Amino acid sequence: MKKITDTDLMMFADKETKGERAMDILSVLLKGDDESKELAKRLEVYTKTRNALFTGLVEIDRRKK
């Protein structure tokens, strides 16, 4: 299995990863070892960042109305 890149994780967080690559990421996350914990922390950063960005954009749009 190739290294899981930041781009891979961003796409996974946005549900854009499909097939074998998505399964590779899921299998690492489910292991429960140090690598999976580190990957879960990285994934959490992308998820929180995406949510904050989306919330900010919605708020800006709401203020314009």
Q: Locate the DSSP E strands across 1-65.
A: none
pTM of the model: 0.76
Q: How far apart (Å, rounded) are the C-alpha atoms in residues 12 and 9?
A: 5
pLDDT at residue number 17:
93
Q: How far apart (Å, rounded) are the C-alpha atoms in residues 34 and 5?
A: 17
Full pLDDT tens readout for the chain, 65 residues: 679 999 999 999 999 999 999 999 999 999 999 999 999 999 999 999 988 988 999 999 999 87
* Token code pair at residue 64: 């314009």
